[in-house]
Amino acid sequence: MDVSTYLWFLSLCTCLAYGKPTLRKERVLHEPELIRQPHEDNQSYQYDHEAFLGKEEATTFDQLTPEESKTRLGKIVDRIDSDVDGYITTDELKAWIKRVQKRYVYENVAKVWSDYDLNKDNKISWDEYKQATYGYYLANPEEFEDATDQFSFKKMLPRDERRFKAADLNGDLAAEREEFTAFLHPEEFEHMQEIVVLETLEDIDKNGDGHVDEDEYIADMFAHEDGGPEPDWVRTERDQFSDFRDLNKDGKMDLEEIRHWILPQDYDHAQAEARHLVYESDTDKVRTY
């Protein structure tokens, strides 16, 4: 795929309007839009845009004219083209997408670090995090008389503590940068996978039976507010549940089935997105990667 063609494709992504009437919440970690719906959908263009640039950078590009964005994209493409041959390969794109993703995670941690490192010792203890996040609630419980607020704080505090301890590999209840990154972004760390799966179950399992049935699975993605017919993609998801989510066909998902769903072991999101971008942009199909 030559650079000029790729610039045209990314400029198109920049100019498109985003959004659709009924959106679904995505639980699968690192699964791109190309797996769940056709790529001509505007949501998919937004995913491509953010995968290539990063979420915040993509927002900045949305404010530029097509000419300005094309100029800036040209500079980025030069950085992606590591062998300087004037073409972008799938491997070069894959490496870039992975770098963008990792950069976003660590930049996010850097932005909030000082908010939690209250004593400025370059560590964030559990007590510091709890004070910064829940301090007002703990000191003024009478102000949180609303049952919903009370439930949210009572639920989230022990959940955060459990996640913090899982990220705290040396067990000193004080997170260094990498540990705090694992706490804020557990989906990026293999040793945090159990927490990610467990939290997913807790989020979706509304009846508290320790499983996710089909209705809970759908309700997590789609709020049926108007009483009308379900969108086609919802009906497709019901089929997905019975065919691919409920592996033992008992009508519900357990922890292992949830793991199989949200942490697909045989899927590389960066590789899939890179292949998709090359496929969409390589109009003459002369070079195959």
Task: Note the pTM of the prediction, 2 decimals.
Answer: 0.67
Express each pLDDT in 11-30 by its tens digit: 434 433 333 333 445 566 54
Q: Residue 41 above 50 pLDDT?
A: no
Express each pLDDT in 92-126 by its tens digit: 888 887 787 788 889 899 999 999 999 999 999 99
Q: Residue 217 above 90 pLDDT?
A: yes
Tell me which of 2 and 161 has the higher pLDDT.
161
Token output for 168: 């705290």
Q: Are 106 and 21 in contact (CB under 8 A)?
A: no
Express each pLDDT in 125-173 by its tens digit: 999 999 999 999 899 888 877 766 666 888 899 999 999 999 999 999 9
Nearest to 256 by CA among 266, 270, 242, 245: 245
> Lowest-pLDDT range, 48-62, 128-142, 271-285?
48-62
Return the percentage of the chain with pLDDT > 90, whole number: 42
Section 63-67 average pLDDT: 76
Most confidently predicted of 11-25, 46-60, 89-103, 238-252: 238-252
Section 238-252 average pLDDT: 96
Residue 93, CA atoms < 13 Å, CB-side half-sphere: 26
Question: What was the pLDDT predicted at 31?
Answer: 40
d(CA 36, CA 43): 11
Question: What was the pLDDT predicted at 119?
Answer: 95
d(CA 49, CA 61): 9
Token output for 72: 């800036």
Beta bridge partners of 2: 87
Q: Residue 39 above 50 pLDDT?
A: no
The stretches of the chain forming alpha helices (DSSP H) are 3-15, 33-36, 42-53, 55-62, 66-80, 90-116, 126-139, 147-167, 177-184, 193-204, 214-219, 232-240, 255-262, 269-281
Tell me which of 46 and 256 has the higher pLDDT.
256
Question: What was the pLDDT predicted at 49?
Answer: 55
**Total count of residues recorded for the chain:** 289
Question: What was the pLDDT predicted at 186?
Answer: 94
